[in-house]
Structure 1
Amino acid sequence: MSQPTRPSDTPSVPRFWPFMFSLFAGSFMSVLSSSTITIAIPELQRHFGAELSSLQWTLTGFMLAMGTSAPLTGYLGGRFSFKWVYVASLAGFVVASVLCGVAWDVRSLVAARFLQGAFCGAIMPVTMTLIYQLLPRERQALAASLWSLASMLAPAFGPTLAGWLITLGNWRWLFFINVPLGLVAVGLAVRTVPYYRLQVPKAFDLPGLLTVITGTLAILLGLSQGRAWGWSDAKTLALFSVGTVSLVFFVVRQLRTHAPLLELRVLANGRYVVTLIIASVITISLYSGAFLIPLFLQQIQGASPLDTGLILLPASLVMALLMPLVGRLYGTLGPRILMTAGVLMIAGGTFALSRLTPEVSHTYVLMWMLVRNVGISLSMMPASNAGMEQLSRELSGHASSISNWLRNVFGAFSIAIFTSLLSTFSAWEAEALVRQGVTDRARLDLLAYVTGINDVYLVATVIALVAVPLSLTVRKLRS
């Protein structure tokens, strides 16, 4: 079938299941790349002889690059069509994965992960936009649940797959496996996603792009290096100042320019803003578990990468399998009940994980990760869909770009903050143990690290509770 050569404001409705399978494949692959690396961090520490503060950039750098590329997708989708942005992002992701697999030191790996994250950052907002621009409203809740399923199924199998690949081969296969998956996803996208363009942008906002990248990079770097430099150090304060001023300038420019990189008038919709905050809180909660529990299991309890993946598999698998059910319950119960119940379960499970000890059973960890993950399943899709369902089709591209940009940025921020807090709290707890008379260095370090993890989980519990009153305000829309 030949493609139109001019913009079309009446895109054809694709066949639902082939179309969703195409979006699922790309989304699954992109999320898989962020979920497998957490298991590999201890292995990478041994391979490169590097500190955790350096290797955390393989995750935070990936997330940050995702966040900085997401604002571009609204412009690129209008300029080249969301179909070809999706295809190009998948192809670029495959190339970046190869570069990650051949990395020779920490710096080259982090640089390749930045590139991988930049392409990955376009995949999630583009696939979300395709759902809300091409599918009729009555099918969007189911489609959103299937789209979220990819985000849940990848973490379900990611740790186990990562542990298996590391055990049988080495960490490089975590990236090489993306090559066949990516080529399949490219082929599906070319065949099933229709070509269309609703609006062709008049100009490209380069100053807006530069300021949003500068702002997010500066603040994340300040958060990551603040403890090492000192929170009152001139470099730390300068980064926070530059980041804040850059983001303020970005917002002001987006509101004034005739061709904004991101159409911020979507933030005039109160329902969208509230669900955006809730989704950001859920993202922080998701990454607190994904980052801290593998560290606890491997570095404190001595579990292998494969054992860690197997311990986490049931909880992650239940989280994934619940997503289609949540999509069907959404039409009956609405977002308020689902999100409130989900956030309460996230907070409860996170609080229970703040009671870890070196001798705690794997069953305890699995049970409370299960509670947390069920809560994430109940709340994540409703938070996404409730904010998007009131917006016009023309604004959905910008809205999905903003949503995914903030989620990725908060994901990167959360890893940087949790890493810094873990280091700070562990140092404080070590000092307290010394005052209590603990002199054995190995036991001192072990107890301080575990207690530091517990302290971080207490902070994550408080953050999760912020979303409870907000969830109660999001009512079900009348048909």
Structure 2
Amino acid sequence: MREREEPRAASFWPLMSAIFLGSFMSGLSSSTVTIAIPELQRHFGAGLPLIQWTLTGFLLAMGTSAPLTGYLGGRFSFKWLYVASLVGFTLASVLCGVAWDARSLVAFRILQGAFCGVMMPATMTLIYQLLPRGQQAMAIGLWSLSTMLAPALGPAFAGWLITLGNWRWLFFVNVPLGLAAVGLAVRMIPFYRLRIPESFDLPGLLTVITSTVSLLIAFSQGGSWGWSSGKTVSLIALGALSLVVFTLRELKTGAPLLDLRVLANGRYLVTSIISSIITLNLYSGGFLMPLFLQRVQGVTPLETGLILLPASLAMALIMPLVGRLYGTFGPCTLMTVGILMIAGGNHALSRLTPEISHTYVLWWMLVRNVGISLSTMPASNAGMEQIPLEQSGHASAIGNWLRNVFGAFSIAIFTSLLSTFGSREAAALMSQGMTEPRRIELLAFTAGINDVYGVGMVIALAALPLSLAVRKSPGVIETPVEAR
């Protein structure tokens, strides 16, 4: 490693303004597409298994590019890595807006997600390396607000754009936002490099991509191929073997793509598992409810966004408050309450009927989303606050890699489960003598969504004993870098 270059002093609000806009744009790009999936199906005449890849592929690309953050940030600085990811994301958004068929849109969304996957861990690393310890909890609260505010506004905003124009504006709107974010980042973020890696771990990159893609395809297609089919089993075996090779490689090499040694920190490992479970519930709920409202209850995209808006706004606006509560209550209390609320919301949403009121949906989505707000920031900060400074880039990359991969897996797995559970219910209804096709479709699809929310409840409860083990931190290993 070459000599480290210390940064100039970073002021809190200028730095956070530069980070906030980029993170907001990233969150907006996923939440708007979620609400547009039925419209994209109609426009392209494509089925849900293909169109869901506009979201799954985006998240997958985020997960597979996130491991590059540690190397690229060290090589070119996290400031210029962030700027480059903003430029690439903006250009990819233009390509998404001019997509000519479903497959081209999926391809451009994957490109967009790749830049986004670098952007998110880069911004988190900037916070932990440029701001003093006492400001980090508040900064992560604002960072989380930026990632949650976009999903809060995204559904209503997307519905409005689709109603007034068409789905292409969901991507073109990123152009002015992206240019503004680039200008703020260049001006407000100081340049520094803590270390410059001397080599790139290409075998690590290839094995992590092979593992992630193989497992995702297996889980997304397992329902239609059959879980015991040769293709499904082979992909799962290839993915598992590649993951083992990747892990062994990263633990032995002197310049790992992802320094998995940070997982030896028990607190970081536990909070990473909790964060992955929270992310799984975040994306699965955001994916399922618009499908239910539009496909079963027949509401418009704009109405869907407005129904979900209060719950999403509550999730976003509570984030800054959680940053303040963190110092008083600590991560254990906040995560425990949050996880119980997520599980309770999932339980209530596993009892939907085609005639259920929108008030019922709104209330329990609100309970669920407030729980996500209460637990997201504590899980992120509790793990990072004891990581040594020079490992913070790798720790941020690992955390974002896990969250994005689990987000992609949640969409793929739950889509597969939705198809499996729905088909089973349809067969049961027909065996009982029901003959009306539309009624069978509505009841079967609703039953499938109920079963998937039930699975989400069980998964959320699995995080409860883990959250009880995370106590207030007695201190940190290193303080942030000093200003010159």
8 Å Cα contact 2:35-2:155 kept in structure 1: yes
SS of 2:46's partner is: coil
Q: Distance in 2 between matches of 1:271 and 1:9?
A: 30
Q: 1:276 aligns with which of 269, 272, 275?
A: 272
Report deviation, 1:435: 2.2
Q: Does residue 308 of the first structure (1) align with residue 307 of the second (2)?
A: no
Report deviation, 1:334: 0.3
Q: Distance in 2 between matches of 1:421 and 1:109?
A: 25
Question: Corresponding residue for 1:72?
Answer: 68
**Paired amino acid for 1:267:** L
Question: Corresponding residue for 1:400?
Answer: 396
Map of 1:195-274 to 2, 5 A cutoff?
A: 195-274=191-270
Map of 1:105-116 to 2, 5 A cutoff?
A: 105-116=101-112
Report deviation, 1:402: 0.2
Question: Corresponding residue for 1:165?
Answer: 161
Q: 2:317 aligns with which of 314, 321, 338?
A: 321
1:363-420 CA deviation, whole Å, 9 max, x = no partner?
A: 0000000000110110000000000000111000000000000100000000000000
Q: 2:355 aligns with which of 348, 356, 359?
A: 359
1:204-257 CA deviation, whole Å, 9 max, x = no partner?
A: 000100110111001101111112222111111111111111111000000111
Report deviation, 1:9: 4.4
- Structure 1 unaligned blocks of 5 or more: 1-5
Q: 2:294 aligns with which of 255, 277, 298?
A: 298
8 Å Cα contact 1:425-1:455 kept in structure 2: yes
Map of 1:162-201 to 2, 5 A cutoff?
A: 162-201=158-197
Q: 2:465 aligns with which of 457, 463, 469?
A: 469
Q: Distance in 2 between matches of 1:63 and 1:342?
A: 24
The two structures, once aligned, show a CA RMSD in angstroms of 0.9
Q: Distance in 2 between matches of 1:231 and 1:285?
A: 23
Q: Distance in 2 between matches of 1:454 and 1:443?
A: 16
Q: Distance in 2 between matches of 1:283 and 1:13?
A: 33
1:13-71 CA deviation, whole Å, 9 max, x = no partner?
A: 31110110110000000111011101100000110000000000000000000000000
Map of 1:309-458 to 2, 5 A cutoff?
A: 309-458=305-454
8 Å Cα contact 1:342-1:374 kept in structure 2: yes
Q: Distance in 2 between matches of 1:13 and 1:347?
A: 43
8 Å Cα contact 1:67-1:407 kept in structure 2: yes
**Paired amino acid for 1:60:** T
Q: Distance in 1 between matches of 2:358 and 2:76?
A: 50
Report the more deviating stretch, 432-441 or 265-274.
Answer: 432-441
Runs (4 or more) in structure 1 with deviation over 4 Å come to none
Report the more deviating stretch, 254-263 or 379-388.
Answer: 254-263
Aligned length: 474
Report deviation, 1:440: 1.2
8 Å Cα contact 1:7-1:196 kept in structure 2: no
- Structure 2 unaligned blocks of 5 or more: 476-484
8 Å Cα contact 2:15-2:188 kept in structure 1: yes
8 Å Cα contact 1:63-1:409 kept in structure 2: yes
8 Å Cα contact 1:215-1:246 kept in structure 2: yes
SS of 1:334's partner is: helix
1:103-131 CA deviation, whole Å, 9 max, x = no partner?
A: 00011000000000000001110000000
**Paired amino acid for 1:157:** L
Identity of aligned residues (%): 73
8 Å Cα contact 1:86-1:123 kept in structure 2: yes
1:161-191 CA deviation, whole Å, 9 max, x = no partner?
A: 1000000000000000000000000000000
Q: Distance in 1 between matches of 2:45 and 2:444?
A: 22
Q: 2:125 aligns with which of 117, 124, 129?
A: 129
Q: Distance in 2 between matches of 1:79 and 1:369?
A: 43
Q: TM-score, normalised by structure 2?
A: 0.97
1:432-459 CA deviation, whole Å, 9 max, x = no partner?
A: 1122221211111110110110000000
Q: Distance in 1 between matches of 2:151 and 2:25?
A: 11
Q: TM-score, normalised by structure 1?
A: 0.98
Q: Distance in 2 between matches of 1:338 and 1:7?
A: 41
Q: 2:23 aligns with which of 7, 21, 27?
A: 27
**Paired amino acid for 1:453:** I
Q: Distance in 1 between matches of 2:5 and 2:397?
A: 20
**Paired amino acid for 1:182:** G
Report deviation, 1:289: 1.1
